[in-house]
Amino acid sequence: MKNTTIAFIGGGNMARSLIGGLIADGGDPDAIWAADPSEEQRQILRSRFAVHTSADNDQVAAQAEVLVLAVKPQLLREVAIGLAETVRQRKPLVISIAAGVRHGNLRAWLGEDAAVVRSMPNTPALVGSGATALFADERVSDQQRQLAESILRAVGLTVWVKDEALLDAVTALSGSGPAYFFLVMEALEEAGVKLGLDADTARLLTLQTAFGAAKMALESAENAAVLRARVTSPGGTTERALAVLQAGNLKELFASALKAARDRSHELGDLLGGQS
């Protein structure tokens, strides 16, 4: 992959995180191109990563063995249609990181023979700790799958789904998931302040506790239910607190929240696909 020419259409936060991850992983900046209409964005990319930049999407795509579509979903139809002839001639692997835009729509815009991988990263990719799900059909070879996975793995872990519809569930769980944890942290900080802690102390303890719990879960072979039971002493403070959360139907609330997010993801896919 290190000698593969990769072109990004769009130079925003997610593209920058991927470019930074690839270079940190040993990628050659001279093999990376990025197109963005903003001179400010292009200057950031050049100064930070020493990659090639252009305001011309076709100029950048013409270099690509891998073409990463990193524009806003509502702009993707226009961008993809504009790139269709270059994609037809160049035949790159196309990776979309645009939320909600379905595989079939991407091929309709780029050309039915296009090798397209649709991916759903989340915002912790910006700090190298992302979770990305990927989907591809039979037009994408095993070698191309491995290439797509290695690119997205530069900013975190990757998983493949066999059914594209499952990307709506991925969006609900990991795509929107960071906001759920931020809300829990926000609630813990506020509760700590109500119990008498100053705001800085409450924030520091909350963040370190969240980090520590996640690290314990990542490094353990046990599931979350087992880990929770291990830190819950009978008759202790944790058991008393968990009883309050369970009485409030916390699990059912999360199930309802994720279902709502999944349903909205499906609706947005219909809306974005309706542009075609």
pLDDT-derived band of residue 224, with 50, 70 and 90 as boundaries?
very high
Residue % of the chain over a pLDDT of 90: 94
pLDDT digits (tens, 9 = 90+) for 134-178: 999 999 999 999 999 999 999 999 999 999 999 999 999 999 999
How far is the C-alpha of 176 from the C-alpha of 106, rounded, in Å?
23
Q: What is the pLDDT of residue 70?
A: 96
When computed from its CA atoms, the radius of gyration of the chain, rounded to whole angstroms, is 21
pLDDT confidence tier of residue 16, bands split at 50, 70 and 90: very high
Which residue shows structure tokens 């974005």?
Answer: 272
Residue 220's alpha-carbon distances to 26, 173, 196, 199, 226, in angstroms, are 30, 21, 34, 32, 10
Q: Which of these, 185, 210, 213, 179, lies nearest to 199 by C-alpha position?
A: 185
Residue 274 has pLDDT above 80, yes or no: no
208 class by beta-carbon count within 10 Å (0-12 exposed, 13-18 middle, 19+ buried): exposed
Cα 166 from Cα 234, distance rounded (Å): 39
For 74-118, what is each residue's pLDDT tens digit?
Answer: 999 999 999 999 999 999 999 999 988 999 999 999 999 999 999
- The whole-model pTM stands at 0.90
Give the pLDDT confidence score for residue 44 in this predicted structure. 95
Q: Which domains does the chain have, with CATH numbers?
A: 6-169 (3.40.50.720), 177-266 (1.10.3730.10)
Per-residue model confidence (pLDDT) at position 276 = 44
Work out the number of other CB atoms within 10 angstroms of the CB of residue 99: 21
Region 105-133: mean pLDDT is 95
Residues 6+ apart with CB under 8 A from 224: 217
